[in-house]
Amino acid sequence: MVEESDVSIGDDAEREEAMLTAARSVVRTCMQVRPHEHVLVVTDPSTSEVGRSLYEAASEVTDRILMMMMPRRHRQGNEPPASVGDLMRRQNVVLLATRHSLTHTRARLTASREGARIASMPGIDEEMMAMGGMTADYNALQKEISGLNPMLRRRRDVRVATPAGTDVTFRTGARWVLEDNGICNRPGQVTNLPAGKVFVLPKEQTLSGKIVIDGSWEGILLDEPLTFLVEEGIVVSISGGELAETVESVLDEAKVGLRPSRAGLVKTVAEFGFGMNSRARMTGNRLEDQVVRGSAYFGIGDNSALGGSASVGIHMRGVMLKPTIELNDVDLVVDGKITARKR
C-alpha cells in the first residue's frame, strides 16, 4: 500500500513533472493505451494544464492523439458541442478532464456504445493531479480491492458508526461493487478518476438510525455536520444549519412532477461506500472526497443504477470521517483504518 502523501510541490517545473508522471499512469496503467489506438483529450480553460499533461503522456504512446477545448460557458449537464461529441464516438480512448462532468451526456453514452474506453475527471485540478488521488498506484489498488471479495461475499448485515454520531444498520441489497479501481481496459468501459472505493446498495426498507456527515457534502467541506435521521430506508429529518435547509429544499424540489408513490422515494438512502485510495485527500472535490482511504459515504436519492426501485432523478452524497464498518463477523474499517479481518 502506498502511504498517504505529505509532499509539497515546490515550483512550476516540479509541478509539471509530477503532473506528467500522473498522466502517464492514467494513459499506461488506467487506460492501457496501445500504439495503434486513437485518443481524444477533452479539456476546458479551467483544466487546460491537466489536459496538456494528458496529451503529452498519450503522445508518448500513440501519434493518433487529439485535444479539444470546451467553451468556457459550458455548464453541468449540458451536452458538449457537436464537434466534440462526434469526435468522442470515433475514438478508442477518451479522457474527459473538464470542470463539469460529461458522464451523463448523450455524447458520452454514444461513445460508450461505439466501444470507447472513457475516463471522466470532473473538477480535476493541478494539485489533485500532482499530489492527490491521481498519484495512486492503480495496479496495487485494483489488487487490494479485488482481495476484499472473499470477505464481502455472502455477508449482508452492515453496521456503520462514527465518532461524530453516525450509528446505522442495514442489509445489503446487491453484491458489493469492486470495479471502481481506476483500471479501464475493456471496450465501452467508463471509469471515474481519481478512483478507489467499494460500494453497495442498501436493501430498501432495512436501514434505520442516524447518519452524521462531517467530512463533505456534494463537494462542500463542512464546518457544521449534517445529520439525517432514517427510518426503514427513508430520511425523515435533516438538521445542520443553513446547508440542511438547502438540502431539504433540493430534495423537495426533486419531487415536483413525480407520481406520489415515486415522490416518496426521493429521500431514499440509496448507496453506501468506503474509500480505499491512500493518496486521495479531503479537498471538496466530489470524486476525490469519496475515495479517501478510510472515509465512508452515503448517497441519498436515486438508487436505480445499483438495482433499486427509487428512480427519482437526483443523487447526492456526503462523506463521513473515521468510520467503523462492521459486516457480520468482519471488521472492514475501524476508526478510519482499513482492517478487513474477522473478529
Q: Is the pLDDT of residue 4 over 60?
A: no
pLDDT 10s digits, 240-251: 999 999 999 999
pLDDT recorded at residue 10? 60
How far, in Å, CA of 7 to CA of 286, rounded? 22
How far, in Å, CA of 117 to CA of 56, rounded? 19
Q: Of the candidates 34, 38, 54, 33, which has an alpha carbon nearest to the alpha carbon of residue 90?
A: 38
pLDDT recorded at residue 152? 97
| C-alpha torsion sign, points 263, 270, 230, 284 | negative
Are the C-beta atoms of residues 213 and 320 closer than 8 Å to each other?
yes
pLDDT 10s digits, 106-135: 999 999 999 999 999 999 999 999 999 999
pLDDT recorded at residue 208? 98
Q: Is 127 helix (H, G, I), strand (E, B) or coil?
A: helix
Q: Give phi and psi for 59, each to the nearest 5.
A: -70, -15
- Report the percentage of the chain scoring pLDDT > 90: 91
Q: Is the pLDDT of residue 176 over 90?
A: yes
Q: Is the peptide bond before 187 cis (omega within 30 degrees of 0)?
A: no
Computed over every residue of the chain, the mean pLDDT equals 94
Mean pLDDT for 232-255 is 96
Q: Is the pLDDT of residue 339 over 70?
A: yes
How far, in Å, CA of 92 to CA of 90, rounded? 7
Q: Which domains does the chain have, with CATH numbers?
A: 12-134 (3.40.1830.10), 136-342 (no CATH)
Fill in the DSSP letter of residue 335: T
pLDDT 10s digits, 304-320: 999 999 999 999 999 99
pLDDT recorded at residue 5? 47
Q: Is 193 helix (H, G, I), strand (E, B) or coil?
A: coil
Residue 77: C-alpha distances to residues 100, 135, 200, 319 (Å): 8, 28, 25, 23
How far, in Å, CA of 53 to CA of 71, rounded? 19
pLDDT recorded at residue 12? 84
How far, in Å, CA of 343 to CA of 336, rounded? 17
Q: Is the pLDDT of residue 3 over 50?
A: no
Q: Is the pLDDT of residue 158 over 80?
A: yes
pLDDT recorded at residue 222? 97
Type of residue at 220 = I
Alpha-carbon dihedral 230, 234, 238, 244, rounded to 10 degrees: 140
How far, in Å, CA of 89 to CA of 110, rounded? 6
pLDDT 10s digits, 10-28: 678 899 999 999 999 999 9
Mean pLDDT for 180-201 is 97
Mean pLDDT for 76-90 is 89
pLDDT recorded at residue 9? 58
Mean pLDDT for 249-260 is 95
How far, in Å, CA of 293 to CA of 338, rounded? 8
Q: Is the pLDDT of residue 255 over 60?
A: yes
pLDDT recorded at residue 72? 80
Burial 50-68 (b: 16+ CB within 10 A, else e): bbbbbbbbbeebbebbebb
- Report the percentage of the chain scoring pLDDT > 70: 96
pLDDT recorded at residue 277? 98
